[in-house]
Amino acid sequence: MVALLSPSQTPLNGRSSAVRVDEIKTQIHQEILALMDWQRMESMSPERLRAELKTLTENLIGTHNLAVNETEKRLIIQAIQDEMLGLGPIEPLLSDPTVSDILVNGPFQVFAERRGKIMPTDIQFDNDAHLLRVIDRIVSRIGRRVDEMSPMVDARLPDGSRVNAVIPPLSIDGPLLSIRRFAVVPFTVQDLIKAGAFTVGMAELIQGLVKARVNLLVSGGTGSGKTTLLNVMSSSIPADERIITIEDAAELQLQQPHVVRLESRPANIEGKGEISQRDLLRNSLRMRPDRIIMGEVRGSEVLDMLQAMNSGHDGSMTTIHANSPRDALTRLEHMLGMAGLKAESRAMRQQISAALSVVIQVSRLSDGQRKVTSLQEITGLEGDVISMQEIFAFQQTGLDPNGAVQGQFVASGIRPKFAQRLSTRGIALSDNFFEPTHRWS
């Protein structure tokens, strides 16, 4: 036996070749847990521990004369390694680059999203306790907890993937786990063009807005690609600027050399120690940022975000959950009320229109595609209403026989006010760039 084993060993009953691989894996896993030298395990590197687990599993299979072929043995070893070092049964999904979401509805129901479509998988956990161990492993890595006192938690994986977990008594049918995956290599502008999210011309315009330090709001529904677009947009920020990112769960993957990343912290078990996004935003203003990028504005921090945009931090960006640009502005106004701003609606709208210049709407279409469906400029107040004008939009024309959305990107024919700002910053666009006849490709 390898050094990980303690002196005592419990025999493992022999199994016939008809026994499923996952049953054998579970049996071997339980024996390894009982025999593991945990102190030595914690001092090992992941590579060394993976090798030790391989040797240990092979020895147990041989010692107990388990009738498995080479393919089954390889699957058992991989499953044991995933269980001890990774996230158990869902580890193969995390290694699959085509999977964008992993949705676990209790131990026996696991779904995966590929290319915008959610499909069931044949993956299962052993029981509720098995799934709870995986959830606890995720949240404990970043110093958070999930228990009966705190049955909901937001966390992230080492690669930046977003994690949400809900456990009983809030979840009736067992623990729930949702993982929004992020690419190890961040998406680029070319990736989104290839995926049909926008055209070359639209990408040129959005990059120009970022370089010209225009304040931007990305609006969209859940899973529409807001954070992905924010990441891609941020790649156009010059490398000599100091950027501060503020998030509830760190997801942004900026590539510039001068990036400061801040993450909020929930309250501890005594209800103390909470650091909100608003606290981080206020502190960031003392850290000499050129730009502030907030992963998502959700509540009272909106007041400080708009004030920062109005006070020398041009080019700042954030996202918001909303189904249209107009709805996004309405939500901002409601959040200002949540922040305790006692002002008339006109004053709130004046602050919004002064801080923001452009709202970019992203949507997930019926076939799973994510697209920029509208770009609108905020032009100021007309009476008590924030005035907006659409610069370009995606017009859906129908569905093909396979259910794929068909349509085209079109310009409205309106020349935006920000065109002058782009020109003064050396960002030249063709004279007919905003004409309806211009080909957005």
What are the pLDDT digits (tens) for 184-225? 677 899 999 999 999 998 999 999 999 999 999 999 998 899
Phi, psi (rounded to 5 degrees) for 75: -65, -40
Distances (CA, A) of 391 to 359, 378, 380, 411, 418: 10, 10, 15, 6, 11
Q: Is 122 a residue whose pLDDT tops 50?
A: yes
Domains in the chain: boundaries = 21-85, 91-180, 189-424
**Which pLDDT band holds residue 143 (cuts at 50, 70, 90)?**
confident
- Looking up tokens 């044991």 gives 80
Cβ-contact 422, 416 below 8 angstroms: no
Which of 407, 349, 344 has its CA nearest to residue 380?
A: 349
Looking at the DSSP bridge assignments, the partners of residue 104 are 110, 177
Read off the pTM. Answer: 0.76
Comparing 280-289, 326-335, 405-414, 424-433, which segment has the lowest mean pLDDT? Answer: 424-433
For residues 418 and 215, give the distance between their C-alpha atoms in angstroms, rounded to a whole number: 11
CATH of 189-424, picked from 2.160.10.10, 3.40.920.10, 2.40.430.10, 3.40.50.300, is 3.40.50.300
pLDDT(16) > 70: no
Topology agreement, domain 91-180 and domain 189-424: no
CA within 13 Å, CB half, 238: 10
- The tens digit of pLDDT for each residue in 245-281 reads 999 877 888 889 999 999 998 877 777 888 999 999 9
**Tokens in use for 296?**
């998502």
pLDDT tens, 79-91? Answer: 777 777 778 789 8
- Nearest Cα to 361, choosing from 398, 405, 322, 414? 322
As a whole number of angstroms, the distance between CA 202 and CA 200 comes to 6
Check whether 415 has a pLDDT greater than 80: yes
The residue ranking higher by pLDDT, 85 or 169, is: 169
Q: Which residues pair with 113 in a beta bridge?
A: 101, 118
Across the range 11-18, mean pLDDT stands at 42
Rounded to 10°, the helix 21-35/70-85 angle is: 50
CATH number, span 91-180: 3.30.450.370
CA distance 337 to 220: 21
